[in-house]
Homo-oligomer: A and B are copies of this chain.
């Protein structure tokens, strides 16, 4: 009898499950995106985001996926041929560097093994050997492996470089659930997306921009139109967007932010850390092997090797078909080798207990 697995337990790293209040917010009727009603929603969303980004910088709302937020960061602050450095440790770092190459930036990519984090010593050494670095790009939370990079220790190294590079951070799958104080650290461009720790519907990328990055923006000659932040800034003055925004998605983000603010920033961050620690502890007890060391582990997603001798896909299919646990597989070099379990956004302990019960039962069956 699988009496408490009647509803699918969606544990992929985005889209994450929506709480009932957020779900019902999506059914609000359309409004004009040029009217007061919309402007109120827009202003509330930006202000809620600023609280979690811990910033006074403007945050631009782009109707698009997280990947488009990463492209926005590439095309707004540089010109073709500019030298930029990517420190990567997985698929989403690779993707961001690929975007930069597509737009003819001069890319240096320093790769760390999948499952490990970017090491500050290497950042220091790499940058010390370079001149005229226009930008340093780093993934805060590598969704492909479940690694959290330490932006706190990397930022001062980047900021100390004589060529004064911009620091651009992809926190698509962590921000909202993990502490990353943009202003205190001095991050210049910070990208996130609605369907991850923000526990809202997918379709909105959010890009915060420092005054220093805005200076660079004004000199950038990169070809762009839909992602041109000059247009977003002009319309942001009236709490609007240049083109028609995904109004329903914004409703969901407004509703989710309200719940998150009620819980409180520090409590939300602590809940994510607690969930990570609880889940990793229990997974170890089951004798399963974790991909990432404790010190590098993400508070939002955990990667696990399948039981020895068992195919990842066979295990994941069983967990889905019999126990209704919807988990993700690996990406890039880890494709077919790992299972990923998300615990971000609306996640609570019982969501992970379900996964663990399913793990336990499936291990006996395999």
Interface set of A (CB-CB < 8 Å, partner B): 8, 10, 12, 14-18, 23-24, 26-35, 63-68, 71, 74, 98-99, 102-104, 193, 195, 201-203, 223-226, 228, 242-249, 252, 326, 328
Q: How far is the CA of A15 from the CA of B33 in the complex (A)?
A: 8
- What are 11 A-B contacts with C-beta separation under 8 Å? A15-B33, A23-B27, A23-B28, A24-B27, A66-B244, A68-B243, A74-B225, A99-B226, A102-B228, A202-B248, A203-B249
Given A66-B243, A103-B225, 6 additional A-B pairs, CB 8 A = A17-B29, A23-B29, A65-B243, A65-B246, A67-B243, A103-B223
CB <8 Å contact, B33 and A63: no
**8 A-B pairs with least C-beta separation:** A203-B246, A65-B243, A67-B243, A15-B30, A26-B26, A201-B248, A68-B226, A99-B225
State the copy count for this chain: 2
Given A63-B203, A64-B68, A246-B202, verify A223-B18 contact (CB < 8 Å): no
Q: How far is the CA of A23 from the CA of B23 in the complex (A)?
A: 11
Complex: chain B residue closest to A69, CB-CB: B226
Q: How far is the CA of A28 from the CA of B74 in the complex (A)?
A: 34
Q: How far is the CA of A8 from the CA of B31 in the complex (A)?
A: 9
Q: Which residues of chain B are near A23, meaning CB under 8 Å?
A: 27-29
CB <8 Å contact, B63 and A65: yes
Q: Which residues of chain B are near A245, meaning CB under 8 Å?
A: 65, 202-203
Q: Which residues of chain B are near A244, meaning CB under 8 Å?
A: 14-15, 65-66, 193, 195, 202
Q: Which residues of chain B are near A34, meaning CB under 8 Å?
A: 12, 328
Q: How far is the CA of A17 from the CA of B247 in the complex (A)?
A: 12
Q: Which residues of chain B are near A66, meaning CB under 8 Å?
A: 243-244
Complex: chain B residue closest to A38, CB-CB: B15
Q: How far is the CA of A9 from the CA of B68 in the complex (A)?
A: 34
Q: Which residues of chain B are near A24, meaning CB under 8 Å?
A: 27
Q: Which residues of chain B are near A247, meaning CB under 8 Å?
A: 15, 195, 201-203
Q: How far is the CA of A67 from the CA of B102 in the complex (A)?
A: 21
CB <8 Å contact, B246 and A246: yes
Q: Which residues of chain B are near A252, meaning CB under 8 Å?
A: 248
Complex: chain B residue closest to A30, CB-CB: B15
Q: How far is the CA of A27 from the CA of B24 in the complex (A)?
A: 6
